[in-house]
């Protein structure tokens, strides 16, 4: 089985659970840890779904969860700041100090806050561990080549169930937009909202024109 951006998940009692909107991926091992589904039309919210919660596949891409519609409340809410480092920054107050200018009095907004308590520091470390273990990827994430150039946006990403191995990567580039399937072994790592390629820009361009690129 596989799961991709935009797939609809269903509960085991036949109710729609939600649509896959984000994938939480190990930044270095490039294996999907969990997926995030978006629920609701008006009061929208998101849930973190472990891959082993998907029990089976029916009628093509209809993925069935092990949960009933009532049991979905057991799944944790997705708070993006927990996975992107923002919560750790808010807890610990870590930030760069303003540079020093003799005789200059900084505004109140630039004064350093009091140091956080040991409990807050410990909680911040837990949140930082969660962040470092998960890159948050979504449709539209930036795709960057080996020399650091932005060349495309992520359009589709599929992972194996339940192992989490990447199976399919598709990017969108140019105007008018064109789609390009990227070999999984051409992906080097990931970060929040960013997918990094092993390819250099000229390799990407050769692939975009239908040629097979090789690493420099």
Flag whether pLDDT at 100 surpasses 70.
Answer: no
Q: Which CATH class is domain 2-78?
A: mainly beta
> Cβ distance 61 to 168 under 8 Å?
no
User: What average pLDDT is seen over the chain?
Assistant: 83
Residue 58 pLDDT: 72
Q: What is the DSSP letter of 85?
A: S
> Cβ distance 8 to 57 under 8 Å?
no
Q: What is the DSSP letter of 200?
A: -
Tell me the pairing of strands 45-50 and 194-197: unpaired
Looking at per-residue confidence, does 124 or 84 come out higher? 84
Residue 120 pLDDT: 62
CATH 2.30.30.240 positions along the chain are 2-78, 136-208
Q: What is the pLDDT of residues 121-143, one digit of tens each?
A: 666 677 677 778 899 999 999 99
Residue 98 pLDDT: 44
The arithmetic mean of pLDDT across residues 140-167, rounded, is 96
Burial class, 127, CB count within 10 angstroms (exposed 0-12 / middle 13-18 / buried 19+): buried
Flag whether pLDDT at 160 surpasses 60.
Answer: yes
Q: How far is CA 9 from the centre of its chain?
A: 18
Q: What is the pLDDT of residues 13-29, one digit of tens each?
A: 999 999 999 999 999 89
CATH architecture of 136-208: Roll (2.30)
| Low-confidence winner among 110-114, 134-138, 188-192 (lowest mean pLDDT) | 110-114
The arithmetic mean of pLDDT across residues 76-104, rounded, is 61
pTM: 0.78
> What's the CA gap between 133 and 55, in Å, rounded?
25
Flag whether pLDDT at 95 surpasses 50.
Answer: no
Q: What percent of the chain has pLDDT over 90?
A: 59
């Amino acid at each position: 089985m596989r799961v991709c951006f935009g797939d609809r998940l269903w509960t085991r009692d036949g109710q729609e659970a939600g649509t896959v909107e984000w994938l939480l991926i190990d930044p270095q091992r490039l294996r999907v840890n969990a997926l995030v589904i978006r629920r609701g039309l008006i009061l929208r919210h998101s849930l973190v779904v472990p891959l082993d919660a998907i029990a089976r596949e029916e009628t093509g891409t209809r993925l069935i969860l092990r949960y009933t519609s009532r049991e979905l409340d057991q799944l944790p809410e997705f708070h993006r700041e927990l996975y992107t480092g923002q919560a750790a920054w808010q807890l610990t107050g870590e930030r760069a100090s303003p540079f020093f200018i003799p005789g200059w009095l900084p505004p109140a907004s630039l004064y350093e806050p009091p140091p956080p308590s040991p409990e807050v520091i410990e909680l911040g470390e837990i949140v930082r561990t969660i962040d470092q273990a998960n890159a948050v990827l979504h449709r539209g994430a930036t795709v960057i080549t080996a020399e650091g150039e932005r060349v495309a946006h992520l359009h589709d990403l599929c992972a194996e169930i339940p192992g989490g191995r990447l199976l399919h990567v598709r990017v969108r580039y140019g105007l008018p937009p064109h789609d390009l399937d990227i070999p999984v072994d051409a992906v080097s790592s990931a970060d929040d909202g960013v997918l990094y390629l092993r390819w250099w820009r000229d390799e990407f361009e050769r692939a975009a024109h239908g040629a097979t690129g090789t690493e420099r």
